[in-house]
Structure 1
Amino acid sequence: MRDVAREAGVSQSLVSIVFRDAPGAGEQTRERVLEVARRLGYVRDESARSLRSTRPLSIGVCFRLGRPFHDAVLEGLYRAVAGTPYRLVLSAVSGSRAEEAALDDLEACRCGALLVIGSLLEESELSVRARRIPLVSVARRCDSAEIDWVVSDDEGGMDRAVAHLQGLGHESVTYLSCPGASGGENRERAFRKVAQRLGLVGGAQVRVGGESEEEGVRIAEEMVAAGNVPSAIIASNDSLALGVLGGLLRHGVGVPERVSVIGMDDLKALHRPRVKVTSLCQDTSRLADLAIGRALRRLSPAEGRGTRPRGTILPMSLEVRDTTGPATLGKLPGGA
């Protein structure tokens, strides 16, 4: 900063004002200081800035590697935090790194609040952390009084999906669950509840699926081999739906001519140019906006730590595309 001040012909305190975007510097002075900083390659030390600040200036985000939904939420979080004095600090969960370790690192970085995407921890563990630092759960509803949360309406979305299939004449619908994923149990429970309410009980089946395209391919091949392919399939995520689609088509089972397939999350990164999957859409941008909003309110001195948490449920929309059509229940290839 001394170098920038000397080169720009201003005081070091004025350079600090410019980089804090605080009042006290004219527009021409700001432009000159920023231009000098760019030319000199000056980058502000955010860690030192946080140490000098009387309040935390970073928001920690715990997410999982290899999850397209988490990637989409992260993109939204960066957009939502732009224009605020806060920055995001990321800490990933992976096959070799537990969620507890990822959260510990964020606390060690003196983050002012935590955003946890799709947590798999016991709610009691999240509550303990939320008593130390404001915590917002994204894509997982929590009952704890200490935790804020923002989620999508799985039951409302499932209602749209099943009603859409019924309207096309489908009476046999299999739901491919993902019990190990965050919210997996909620989605399965939503399917069972909706199937009963809409009178699909006899033709509603639940089968353990997974999270990857590979698992979807395997399940489709097992269905074809057993001659037990339902009229319609709802997959618990888009990756699984794409795998099912690929597995069915590989064995000559027409989609949607013989089987209709619906995914969940509607993530743009998983769209294919030739076949566009019908999917239940989560508004990841809105989830991110609300999560940042919750965190900023908890960080506001006016709000304080004692305010009661708030939860928001966002509607899911059904994007009808190429993989759903009228029920035909024609025979499978080979006469099965």
Structure 2
Amino acid sequence: MAARAGVSKSLVSLVMRAEPGASAETRRRVQEAADQLGYQPDSRARLLRSGRTRLLGVVFGIQHTFHADLVTELYAAARETGFELALSAVTPGRDEPEAINGLLQDRCEALLMVAPRSPVAALARLAARLPVVVLARGVRDAAVDVVRNADADGMHLAVDHLVRLGHSRIAHIDGGRAAGAADRRRGYRDAMGWNGLAASVRIVPGGLTEEDGAAAARALLDDLPTAVAVFNDRCATGVLDVLTRARVEVPAEISVIGYDDDRLARLSHLDLTTVAQDTAAMARLAVGRAIERAEGSPVGRRELVAPPRLVVRGTTGPCVSR
């Protein structure tokens, strides 16, 4: 670049660092040479020399639509902060520790972990090395920051909605050991009791995926409830598929409600009633907390909770007695 601009390397360095000491004409010639060569300044290298990377690492599950929705909002939240995101996905062939190690090698200043499966002790050890913010999962350790949805309240919204439609035989397909599953089970039980339906509590083992939902739906077919509240939208998709194949009409014969309001729920052919997590608010809170920790700023509460909301679509309707 110096040869093309006809100046010394030291002058090029001054211009590219936007420091004083070069004339307007020299700056013009250097910039023109940079444009012709397609030169882009390596801001990452400059930050590394200062001991900073201004990178926030994000660990997420590539198979989960809700995780992708959260990552999209994390990019939006980070856009004006001066920090960049570095993504590391958990896949069927790449486990969570491997995804984390990739980000540690990139010298990220903080980690954002979407619904991690790692045990609390492992998360606490990681938080001793750098700030860790967990999204969409509660973690009972003071070293780990948490940004989550009020899962129990969300399932309460689901049950209350079904009760208002006249349903009393309401089952819950749970999420097993997935993040948030215990709180959603508790919310379902509490809501059933609150509505005078404690004797009708029915929890069916489920999980995260369409296959889990399909297996749970097949278990319900012999004694079909009038409504079912499902752990997440992906699992609810499997439920709807089995009901359709069994010629059970939704919502005429059974109402189905999911959780998350991910992109699957919004597809026109599914039109799934669901409980929405506020991904935009969660992303803003998580990015803000990660940066506060990276900058050494004082913070308040360790756990930040975003309220859910009910999104009514076409898979829930009035109870018809059978």
TM-score by length of 2: 0.89
The answer to whether structure 1 residue 236 and structure 2 residue 228 are counterparts is no
Name 2:128's counterpart in structure 1.
Answer: 131
Does the aligned pair in 2 maintain the 1:264–1:281 contact within 8 Å? yes
Letter in 1 for 2:191: V
Which amino acid is 1:167 matched to? R
Query: Amino acid of the residue matched to residue 143 of structure 2?
Result: E
Aligned equivalent of 2:277: 282
Match of 1:322 in 2: 314
**Paired residue for 1:99, among 74, 96, 99?**
96
Q: CA deviation at 1:111?
A: 0.8
Query: Which of 248, 251, 276 is equivalent to 1:253?
Result: 248
Structure 2 residue 125 is matched with structure 1 residue 122: no
Please give the residue correspondences for 1:295-310 in structure 2 after superposition, counting only pairs within 5 Å. Answer: 295-301=290-296, 303=297, 310=302
| Cα deviation code 1:205-232 (max 9, x no counterpart) | 10011222233233323432x2x11110
Gaps of 5+ in 2: none
**CA offset at residue 67 of structure 1?**
0.7
Q: Give yes or no for contact 2:173–2:216 (8 Å, CA) kept in 1.
A: no
Selected match of 1:140 from 131, 137, 142: 137
Deviation, structure 1 residue 109: 1.5
* Counterpart in the other structure of 1:58: 55
Q: Distance in 1 between matches of 2:264 and 2:204?
A: 26
What's the offset of the Cα at 1:35?
7.5
Q: Within 5 Å, give how 1:34-183 maps onto structure 2.
A: 37=34, 39-45=36-42, 47-183=44-180
| Distance verdict in 2 for CA 1:31–1:317, change over 3 Å | farther
Distance 1:5 1:55, change over 3 A: farther
Between stretches 9-18 and 154-163, larger displacement belongs to 9-18
- Number of aligned positions between the proteins: 320
Structure 1 distance, partners of 2:201, 2:226, is 10
**What displacement does 1:324 show?**
0.7
Q: Deviations over 1:268-290 (max 9, x none)?
A: 24422234110000011111111
Tell me, what secondary structure is at the counterpart of 1:274? coil
Match of 1:11 in 2: 12
Q: Report the Cα offset of residue 169 of structure 1.
A: 0.9
Shift of 1:124: 1.5
| SS, match of residue 69 in structure 1 | helix
Contact 1:145–1:309 (Cα < 8 Å) also in 2: no
| Long gaps (5+) in structure 1 | 331-336
- Cα RMSD for the two superposed structures: 3.0
8 Å Cα contact 2:158-2:257 kept in structure 1: yes
Amino acid at match of 2:316: T
Mapped to 1, the partners of 2:5 and 2:118 lie a distance apart of 49
SS at match of 1:321: coil
Q: Distance in 2 between matches of 1:2 and 1:155?
A: 63
TM-score normalised by structure 1 residue count: 0.85
Greater mean deviation of Cα atoms: 59-68 or 244-253? 244-253
Change (3 A) 1:31 1:281: farther
